[in-house]
Structures are given as structure tokens and as C-alpha cells.
Amino acid sequence: MEIKGEYKIAASREKVFAALNDQAILQACIPGCESLEMLSPTEMTAKVRLRIGPVSAAFSGKVTLSDIDPPNGYRISGEGQGGVAGFAKGGAVVALTEDGSDTILKYEVDAQVGGKIAQVGARLITGTAKKLADQFFGKFAESVGAPPPVAAAS
């Protein structure tokens, strides 16, 4: 399945690229993420709990960054095992372009699933994947483009 999207983020391209490589920001934005651990600047392990239709599963997997081109973007690839629920694997190309003082983030995701998850139907899986991508990038855009907190007057 393929999913594409675009978000306008109220931040510089450099700030957005740095956030895409920030473990704490990624963990906070990934739906259902229970843990995200950096093994190296280009490798992470993750534990994510998701519900796809009637199937609920905890996935453990590895994420790899490649084709890194700061601050223009990169390719992110991942593979996760959900035990009896099955597996998911795929990748995304993330591209950043300047738009004045803002950044346009475009993504193209390609994913495959197998096992029990694949049995719930392609339409449900595609809809859930699109919803999860929108949740991630929406929360990411909000957290990166949010104005800094205002200090309380004393």
C-alpha cells in the first residue's frame, strides 16, 4: 500500500530536519509508541502497540535511516514483528522544502503487512495506516512548529 501526504510546519527546514532525528520528539509523536531507543545515529529499535480493526498487537522492530541529505530529508525503513498478529514492514521518503520561513514536509510511505493483520482487509489496513500517518505528522508538525512557551511574569 502507498500513502502520500504533505504538511506545512511553522519552523525552519533545519529545525524540522533536526526534529526528525530527535528520539524524544519521535517517540512522543509515533502513535502507540511505548519505547524508542537510538542504537546509532541511523538505527533505532521501537516497541509500538497498535489496534487495526479487531486485531491488537504489540510490535517490536528496527528502524533505519538512509539516503540522509540534511536538511532536505531522508529515507526511513522499518520492520516490526507482532507475534501471532503478524508483521509490518515498509519505508517512507521524507522531503523538506522551504516555504518562506516555514517548511513543507512531504512523505511517501510504502508498507506491507502479513499474518493475522493482513486478514482484516486491505481497505481497513490502508485507512488505519493513513490515520496513523496523519496522527504522527500532525502531532510532529504541531510540536515542531509550536511557538516557544511564554515565561510567566513575576
- For residue range 95-150, what is the model confidence (pLDDT) as tens digits? 999 999 999 999 998 888 888 888 887 888 888 888 988 899 899 999 998 765 54
Instruction: Identify which of 23-27, 88-92, 116-120 has the greatest average pLDDT.
Output: 23-27
* 87-99 sheet: strands from edge to edge: 2-9, 102-114, 87-99, 73-81, 55-69, 43-52, 33-40
**How far apart (Å, rounded) are the C-alpha atoms in residues 3 and 60?**
22
Contact 29, 109 (CB under 8 A): no
Q: Cβ of 61: how many Cβ atoms within 10 Å?
A: 17
- Mean pLDDT within 62-83: 94
Asked if pLDDT for residue 60 goes beyond 90, the answer is yes
| pLDDT attached to residue 126 | 87
Distances (CA, A) of 37 to 25, 60, 88, 131, 153: 12, 11, 19, 24, 38
User: How much of the chain exceeds pLDDT 90, in percent?
Assistant: 62
Asked if pLDDT for residue 153 goes beyond 50, the answer is no
Total-model pTM: 0.86
Asked if pLDDT for residue 154 goes beyond 50, the answer is no
